[in-house]
A and B are shown apart, each in its own frame.
Chain A
């Protein structure tokens, strides 16, 4: 039985078939080598003129087109009729097209992203609550490395339909620090202290000048926005050193941060007419930490009557 199978196998490999097999192997190897060479050559030639993104796209286009051409040559050597194959491919294409709607959507979105160029490799982007540095921009997806070293793949259609922030598109950025200080704080002194903190931080740009915006009179205190400009590469250095310096300067100047806190003043019920309750002034952290003293409230007539009524019932 085994002998027969072996003989059939030997019989199949006639000289002609062997020649074809060798020819196919040679075409495949040489074809792929030529493709690789072409891709490397084009990469070198276009490195100066094309962005990394376009270079990668060109390389992939050459590789895929070349691979299809090599496949067709091999099929024609093997005697497969390509016209019939193309007809069949059309029908299969429709079926695959229905099945691969998402991929097609990503592919078309990828083409839009590449032509629109909202970002390039190496940019830091933010999509939703995810942010990181772009590693590659492909036809179907964009891959990023997050700042805590995770790998995230965004389908291109998601990037087209969602809001995307390119954090490092422009060379300088502004760091906005929002805080609230108690109402008793001297605003002019606060401004001086903040500007001194920015001036003492070498990575803070002195032009554009830092901005201080008095945002609003909040529930717990005065709300400010302090914005300082920095070069995009200095984000962490500026954030750490400036925040620390602001805290140190505030401590040194006796300026406190206001925290959501309220003081309650106990009043015997019925002593204030309805609607006369005053808004309680906001207090600082230190004051808010003080243990609240319970106001000794005189027993009200109503409460005493209720207690007495309870005793009678029992």
Chain B
């Protein structure tokens, strides 16, 4: 029976029972993942095809690999686990540091106005083994994002950088298994227009939810108070309301705080004069 695309997307994050000496393969976006089990150890290998980031290739849930041709080609990592640990599960999680979104065009939000837009963020796949208390083996980014510096060269912070479309309609968003949609609401509460080139999303505070067709994160509200002031970041509680059923798949890395005061916008194009 052939599964539909949305069923495959659901199945990726479902647990799989392993018998001894099994080895399985899965594909999430550009990430190919192999999991092997020997009687007491687990082995994980992966490779990425960056050219597949934009392609609409169907995701592949964990399934027994047909041939062992790639075993020698891959670089395996090994973990010691008890004999009882036979269940493997891939869990989506957000990147381990904030992501700076670089919209294609600078965005202008007039004073007193608010705007809701959606960004697609590539998730990481966490490999868990075991039944009762699952043991995390590793976390693998589906897409390797380049690094960027947000803030001034002395007190800023290291973030990931993502060039993506900032869209107002959900329908226009790409729907890939490795992307989660983050609704961002910007409220301009300053006395001036907000014209920014970068926005920093604190993804460590976001959980992941499975909607009917997509992965979702909590909604993020950013209140802009002025260029020299920190913005108020409010992380929404629970799944956003854009799709009816939304089951929580992955917990946030940091306990979500109701509101944070942090720098969120970047107005300077570069610091290349330094």
Q: B-contacting residues of A (Cβ < 8 Å)?
A: 170-172, 174, 199, 201-211, 229-231, 234
- Least distance between A198 CB and chain B CB atoms (Å): 9
A206 touches B146 (CB 8 A): yes
Give the docked Cα–Cα distance between A192 and B96 (Å). 31
Known: A170-B153, A172-B153. A207 touches B148 (CB 8 A): yes
Chain A residues whose C-beta falls within 8 Å of the C-beta of B158 in the assembled complex: 171-172, 231
Closest Cβ neighbor of A204 among chain B residues: B146
Specify which of A204, A206, A211 lies most central, judged by the most chain B CB atoms within 10 Å of its CB.
Answer: A206
- Least distance between B161 CB and chain A CB atoms (Å): 5
Give the docked Cα–Cα distance between A208 and B153 (Å). 8
What 7 A-B pairs have minimum CB-CB distances, sorted nearest first? A208-B271, A209-B270, A211-B272, A207-B148, A202-B146, A206-B161, A206-B148
Q: A-contacting residues of B (Cβ < 8 Å)?
A: 100, 102, 144-150, 153-154, 156, 158, 161, 198, 266, 269-272, 274
15 contacts between A and B (CB under 8 A): A172-B153, A174-B274, A201-B146, A205-B146, A206-B102, A206-B148, A206-B161, A207-B150, A207-B161, A207-B271, A208-B149, A208-B274, A209-B271, A209-B272, A231-B149
Closest Cβ neighbor of B102 among chain A residues: A206
- Least distance between A72 CB and chain B CB atoms (Å): 49
Give the docked Cα–Cα distance between A229 and B149 (Å). 9
B154 touches A208 (CB 8 A): no
Interface of A is mostly: loop
Known: A207-B270, A208-B274. A202 touches B154 (CB 8 A): no
Give the docked Cα–Cα distance between A17 and B272 (Å). 79
Give the docked Cα–Cα distance between A204 and B154 (Å). 17
Identify which of A204, A209, A211 contacts B147 (C-beta below 8 A): A204
A172 touches B149 (CB 8 A): yes
Give the docked Cα–Cα distance between A210 and B270 (Å). 9
A171 touches B147 (CB 8 A): no
Identify which of A201, A203, A205, A210 contacts B149 (C-beta below 8 A): A205
- Least distance between A214 CB and chain B CB atoms (Å): 14
Chain B residues whose C-beta falls within 8 Å of the C-beta of A206 in the assembled complex: 102, 146-148, 161
Give the docked Cα–Cα distance between A210 and B144 (Å). 19
A171 touches B146 (CB 8 A): no
- Least distance between A16 CB and chain B CB atoms (Å): 68
Specify which of B145, B198, B271 lies most central, judged by the most chain A CB atoms within 10 Å of its CB.
Answer: B271
A205 touches B156 (CB 8 A): no
A203 touches B147 (CB 8 A): yes
Identify which of B102, B147, B198, B274 contacts A231 (C-beta below 8 A): B147
Given contacts A199-B146, A206-B147, A209-B272, 10 further A-B contacts (CB under 8 A): A170-B153, A170-B154, A171-B149, A171-B154, A207-B161, A207-B271, A208-B271, A208-B272, A208-B274, A231-B149
Give the docked Cα–Cα distance between A229 and B150 (Å). 12
Give the docked Cα–Cα distance between A234 and B158 (Å). 12
Chain A residues whose C-beta falls within 8 Å of the C-beta of B148 in the assembled complex: 205-207
Chain B residues whose C-beta falls within 8 Å of the C-beta of A234 in the assembled complex: 147
Identify which of B147, B150, B266, B271 contacts A202 (C-beta below 8 A): B147
B145 touches A207 (CB 8 A): no
Closest Cβ neighbor of A199 among chain B residues: B146
Chain B residues whose C-beta falls within 8 Å of the C-beta of A207 in the assembled complex: 100, 148-150, 161, 198, 266, 270-271
Closest Cβ neighbor of B150 among chain A residues: A207
Closest Cβ neighbor of A201 among chain B residues: B146
Give the docked Cα–Cα distance between A156 and B93 (Å). 49
Chain B residues whose C-beta falls within 8 Å of the C-beta of A204 in the assembled complex: 146-147
Give the docked Cα–Cα distance between A230 and B270 (Å). 14
Give the docked Cα–Cα distance between A42 and B145 (Å). 45
Give the docked Cα–Cα distance between A202 and B270 (Å). 18
Chain A residues whose C-beta falls within 8 Å of the C-beta of B274 in the assembled complex: 174, 208
Chain A residues whose C-beta falls within 8 Å of the C-beta of B272 in the assembled complex: 208-211
Give the docked Cα–Cα distance between A230 and B147 (Å). 8
- Least distance between B50 CB and chain A CB atoms (Å): 9
Chain A residues whose C-beta falls within 8 Å of the C-beta of B149 in the assembled complex: 171-172, 205, 207-208, 229, 231
